[in-house]
Structure 1
């Protein structure tokens, strides 16, 4: 009876409805009259029925998202009549099989990112044969089973012939399926009342005839589930019914279950790894999840869900595409009238930082166990299994042994990616000829091992063992930028470049385990000399140091977070219509010293404005705000003007609003001025941190433009990305502008140089979903916050001078991107996300361990956005080092971050160095455009009349003493040993002591002579 207490690992599997941006919507599907599943998925593509054209299918890549109209998809013009069934080949993600009642069986090859179809071959089954259902073999390649009226066919695709013709069932074969080991074939016929089981290689007659359902149905389904057989049909009362039979004991079903009364059949899908069965009702909105088990009930219910829309079809996605680091065990694709919804089925776990091997056993790999000829000859070889564990899932972050240096001119960096290729051996004469054609620069084994140790090798699987393995490394640098620099590292001989083409290629060869190493390019990392200023003193500023007590820790590690009622009872309530569908490029809310701006729902682009000095309950009725007359894409307050708000829209306009505390109803206001960016959608923008009336704007045409808001004129236009820009970030001195785009590239610009101002470029992201970028640690680091392909949210640190990756740490998993905020003075990084309750905090350091964790804060309500004040709003005497506003769907609460200290009557100078002035401009836009090199301003936050706890030590530049000549140990051995002269030492001390020859008894007074008597 012990099994009664053993709970299944998958009993809590829960389907999660995706957000709209994660679905494929506006598809031309409409009402379908087909009897198949309506949609099919492989590891690479989706195929589905389209409206009004029975002989055509739509095709999209498996990772497609967003609005897809007819012009945005590939159309497979398969047949002239209605397509009866279609499926992907089990071991070829690109091959799609279709059949119709009036034509041959056709194979289509889908290729490219647009799923472009091309006819691979046609297979003639016979004259007058009406095909109804098809299924690819489960273990062998190029084998298809197709059912017709009274007959079924096993087709050898490789030879384009019918290998076996089966007979023995009544009426149409409505559904076919192969057993998991590929030996048996099941066919559902006679309108769902009969299932015939065949051993296709031993005979043409069924080995079992099974009477299953009593009702007559237009559709039925049959499915092998391991050593069980599942049949889906109807009862005599038109109720959906499922029968489960044990393979080998066909006499009676081991499980029978009725579901709801409906006209559509339950479409079953089975995952052999988890033993989960998914039953989705056709024409209904019901989804049932059950689990096979060895005890009664053999089909145990797991979850029942009512979907938002009516099901027209469904399919199960490839196991190779599940997001294992999110606990996703399966992906179910739902087909509706207008969209396809990928529904992830997730097993809840306390943490997803590590790979849960118990949830993801080895699954069937992409390579078939045998060919069609081998299977027909009697082979039962099974496909090899593959692991779903991603690389590097041990939870340990990547740490580089290098520490970023202060901002300095970058040098050509070594390419990270290393590709492994195979080339045939060449004769010595051919090798000499190749060496003359392509000069090779040799390296010492020590230099090579050092360069190879910082690279990642990607090895291809399945290469011929007879051929030598050739590993290639590429070192690529922009040749034009090298000519502009005129600088090269003379002390690094292996960094010298050969002038070959635009991107010179450096090949290296040496003996490493008797294999040749040469170099192959990836997208190049372009780096050129930065226009650095020698008089910059930003790195000489005294900052709070981390405490070292056994381990490195931060002084802010015990940060105390106060919110709402605890934060001076500062809270806005009764907020309504908060816009939760903003683009991923915007932070969602922003604040100045006087107001908080919150985007609201509606097509008019309403933005609510709330006075930070007047919190409380907002009045009922229509929410007041400013109307932008278009969808809001991004918004920011002018950092040097608390009353000017800039709002970007999707029609290419940036509205500048002048807002005061004396304004009347703001819904009647008009913008102070409007910046027209030429009709391109405003993706995001950032104000300049030092120059007034200057901002960088990212547009939907992949360009970045520098605009002067005072005169509404464009001053620079930068085109460096090949896809849309996702985020921008200025350096604290305003000289450099960094950006990341959907081309996965990180670009560093110096806009003062003109339109052609790209300094450095490298690939940093794995997924073009979203990202943020900013400078940190006196502009010595670049922080990139993004997402991996498995939806893990991570923080990457790069050396700002060379773009070398220093550190990577995964934070958590989620669908929404992390939004970072960096406090320059405390060097604390705040990470939050829409739909999350947790605010993670880290102190960023240039030295290991780089990210020092602080105490995270978990709020009671889910947040939509968080907006931070500048340093001027902090009450430093209460040890507050940051203030912000946290937005939920109903409230706007003030958040205070402070450090617990006992002595609050003195200024905590160790926590509050001179603050970077972000509330006052240093220069005008014209000065900056003219190339001004002014440095940032710093200002003390200590109030007047308050004593400091401790003064920071003034920075003193270390003096460089001339290097002493090196003396070898052999020379030391022959030097005579010099001993000090003792007499000289004594004389030196005697000279310091005054000479005094008197004795102590000389100062004593004795008795007179008369008192002495002579002894008798």
Structure 2
């Protein structure tokens, strides 16, 4: 595979060393999702996940996209071919039994849902995009679709959707070969670019620093390209680079703390990364991580989940056919002290706005936290849903009378049955171990 061209002198291309970590976990594909055990400060277990591991299995068709909530580490949203979006609450410590009942089911799409994305700063605001060419913005707290961008905005399949850092805008790429910047609360297209890349293959677009947009696509000769655009002047790109002739669509992941964008291609065995600056040539090639096996997909760890004492600036989860491999991006430093230049204040778990405030027209950037002493997860937060579907809320709310309700009794009886089953399994295991010791 040819190396990407260097439009200018690379900005210290040896400063970033990519180190694959040991440990992998199986990930279930289809309508069920397995929770992989991956090496991290919060999950020290590694290795193959047991085939009987509990699953999140509420969808009736394959799951196409998932997204962890940025404001609640226990909440995940999933979009599926069954035309629904489901929001799940994972208990502390992980699943003991299969999780079949979501906190809330969001129904509104008429075709499969391929994209889900949480609002970066407003609590309980979730976006979904389906193959019905419709984007819905949900208030998860009420379970209702509060905003709709219909087929009049996107006349064809939506390839990608990304929120701006303060959540005021979204940028989308569509099969009609247009990239749009949209104000979702007004439903208006703020800026639009026709054919940012001349090729016919899918284009992906993400917001980067200073309100710019980065796109990946293909040239007329099927060469993969990456381009940087100023949303105020979309006539010509600030930077356009051709990379190679591979056929995999490039997925961009942007880190606003370091202004580094990582490009991961489906079917590739490499990850390229570039630095974005405010001066020409704007997009600087840094380096490339390569491995022997190609990736079927890629996940990205939020900054607060990284190991700052090892100068880890990014971590990816590379999906193979039967395993998930963590890949850490580290900057070699001799000092053991906290590296402030690598870890400026980053987005924390607290939302800056409520859903009502954002819908009312307010915008706010993320609330920042320091990683100097490492990230300490807050106490488990309850996902509040005002439709009677929030079990966590029911558990936390005392009954109005001194006599527990039938629902409370049923939940307690179910918990007792689950505990009895666990005790029985442990007892059987203990008996087998005793038999083994006696046989020896």
Based on CA coordinates, which of the two structures has the bigger radius of gyration? 1
Same fold (TM over 0.5): yes
Matched residues in 1 for 2:164 and 2:49: separation? 42
Aligned with residue 600 of structure 1, among 13, 25, 29: 29
Residue by residue, what CA displacement relative to the aligned partner does 1:540-571 show, whole Å, maximum 9, x if unpaired? xxxxxxxxxxx754357421111123xxxxx1
Q: Does 1:700 align with 2:122?
A: no
Matched residues in 2 for 1:631 and 1:600: separation? 7
**Is 1:745–1:765's contact at 8 Å kept on the other side of the alignment?**
no
SS at match of 2:71: coil
With normalisation by structure 2, the TM-score equals 0.77
The alpha-carbon distance between structure 1 residues 908 and 620, as it changes in their structure 2 partners (threshold 3 A), is closer
Segments of structure 2 that go 5 or more residues without pairing to the other structure are: 375-440
The alpha-carbon distance between structure 1 residues 892 and 678, as it changes in their structure 2 partners (threshold 3 A), is closer
Kindly tell me the number of residue pairs found equivalent between the two proteins.
364
SS at match of 1:855: strand
Q: Does 1:718 align with 2:160?
A: no
Q: Where do 1:618-629 residues align within 5 Å?
A: 618=48, 621=51, 624-627=54-57, 628-629=59-60
Residue by residue, what CA displacement relative to the aligned partner does 1:46-83 show, whole Å, maximum 9, x if unpaired? xxxxxxxxxxxxxxxxxxxxxxxxxxxxxxxxxxxxxx
Matched residues in 2 for 1:735 and 1:758: separation? 13
Q: Does 1:750 align with 2:183?
A: yes
SS at match of 2:357: helix
Residue by residue, what CA displacement relative to the aligned partner does 1:519-557 show, whole Å, maximum 9, x if unpaired? xxxxxxxxxxxxxxxxxxxxxxxxxxxxxxxx7543574
Matched residues in 2 for 1:621 and 1:848: separation? 52
Q: Structure with the greater relative contact order (CA < 8 A, sep ≥ 6): 1 or 2? A: 2
Matched residues in 2 for 1:913 and 1:553: separation? 23
Aligned with residue 66 of structure 2, among 616, 631, 635: 635
User: Cα distance, 1:723 vs. partner?
Assistant: 1.2
Matched residues in 2 for 1:626 and 1:901: separation? 40
Q: Where do 1:865-884 residues align within 5 Å?
A: 865-884=297-316
Q: What is aligned with 1:728?
A: 161
With normalisation by structure 1, the TM-score equals 0.34
Residue by residue, what CA displacement relative to the aligned partner does 1:701-734 show, whole Å, maximum 9, x if unpaired? 3222211112111111123122111100111011
Q: Where do 1:555-954 residues align within 5 Å?
A: 557-565=14-22, 571-572=23-24, 575=26, 598-601=27-30, 605-612=31-38, 613-618=43-48, 621=51, 624-627=54-57, 628-660=59-91, 661-666=93-98, 669-719=100-150, 720-752=153-185, 754-755=186-187, 757-763=188-194, 764-779=196-211, 781-804=212-235, 805-904=237-336, 906-915=337-346, 917-943=347-373
Q: Where do 1:331-346 residues align within 5 Å?
A: none
**Is 1:772–1:786's contact at 8 Å kept on the other side of the alignment?**
yes
The alpha-carbon distance between structure 1 residues 790 and 662, as it changes in their structure 2 partners (threshold 3 A), is same
Matched residues in 1 for 2:203 and 2:270: separation? 19
User: Cα distance, 1:932 vs. partner?
Assistant: 0.9
Matched residues in 2 for 1:848 and 1:772: separation? 23
**Is 2:109–2:132's contact at 8 Å kept on the other side of the alignment?**
no
**Is 2:109–2:130's contact at 8 Å kept on the other side of the alignment?**
no
SS at match of 2:35: strand
Q: Where do 1:440-459 residues align within 5 Å?
A: none
Residue by residue, what CA displacement relative to the aligned partner does 1:938-977 show, whole Å, maximum 9, x if unpaired? 3332229xxxxxxxxxxxxxxxxxxxxxxxxxxxxxxxxx
Residue by residue, what CA displacement relative to the aligned partner does 1:897-954 show, whole Å, maximum 9, x if unpaired? 11111222x2222332222x1532111111000011333333332229xxxxxxxxxx
Residue by residue, what CA displacement relative to the aligned partner does 1:821-844 show, whole Å, maximum 9, x if unpaired? 111100111111222111111111
Residue by residue, what CA displacement relative to the aligned partner does 1:859-905 show, whole Å, maximum 9, x if unpaired? 1322222211111122223222122222212322222111111222x
The alpha-carbon distance between structure 1 residues 702 and 765, as it changes in their structure 2 partners (threshold 3 A), is farther
Q: What is aligned with 1:217?
A: none
**Is 2:29–2:63's contact at 8 Å kept on the other side of the alignment?**
no
**Is 1:557–1:853's contact at 8 Å kept on the other side of the alignment?**
no
Matched residues in 1 for 2:253 and 2:94: separation? 31
